[in-house]
Amino acid sequence: MCKIAGVSKSGYYKWLKRQDNPTDKDLEDQSIVTKIIKCQQDPDINWSYGYPRVQTWLKKMYGLKVNHKRIYRLMKANGIQAKIRVKKWKHFGRKEKYVVSENDLNREFSASRPNEKWVTDITYLLFNGKKLYLSTILDLYNNEIISYKISERNDLKLVADTVKKAIKKRDVKGLLLHSDQGFQYTSIRYNKLLERYNI
Give the model's confidence band at 87: pLDDT under 50 very low, under 70 low, under 90 confident, else very high: low
Instruction: Kindly report the backbone phi and psi dihedral angles of residue 9, in degrees, each rounded to the nearest multiple of 5, phi listed first.
Output: -65, -45
pTM equals 0.51
Q: What local confidence, expressed as pLDDT, does residue 23 receive? A: 82
- Given a contact cutoff of 8 angstroms between Cβ atoms, the answer to whether 26 and 18 are in contact is yes
Identify the top-confidence range among 89-98, 148-157, 179-188. Answer: 148-157
Domain ranges of the chain: 2-77, 117-196
> Cα separation of 163 and 136, whole Å?
9
Region of poorest pLDDT, from 3-12, 53-62, 88-97, 189-198: 88-97
Q: Which CATH class is domain 117-196?
A: alpha beta
Ramachandran category for residue 106: left, alpha or beta (phi over 0 → left; psi -120 to 50 → alpha): left
Q: What local confidence, expressed as pLDDT, does residue 70 receive? A: 94
The CA distances from residue 89 to 86, 156, 186, in Å, are 9, 20, 12
Residues 6+ apart with CB under 8 A from 44: none
Q: What is the DSSP letter of 174?
A: T
Sheet hosting strand 176-178, strand order edge to edge: 144-151, 130-139, 117-127, 176-178
Beta strand 176-178 with 117-127 is: parallel
pLDDT in tens, 120-162: 999 988 877 788 999 999 999 999 999 999 999 889 899 999 9
Q: What local confidence, expressed as pLDDT, does residue 88 receive? A: 55
- Given a contact cutoff of 8 angstroms between Cβ atoms, the answer to whether 195 and 173 are in contact is no
Whether 94 shows a pLDDT value over 60: the answer reads: no
> Cα separation of 149 and 155, whole Å?
12
Element (H, E) at 192: helix 188-196
Beta strand 117-127 with 130-139 is: antiparallel
- Given a contact cutoff of 8 angstroms between Cβ atoms, the answer to whether 181 and 100 are in contact is yes
Residues 6+ apart with CB under 8 A from 79: 2, 6, 7, 8, 9, 10, 11
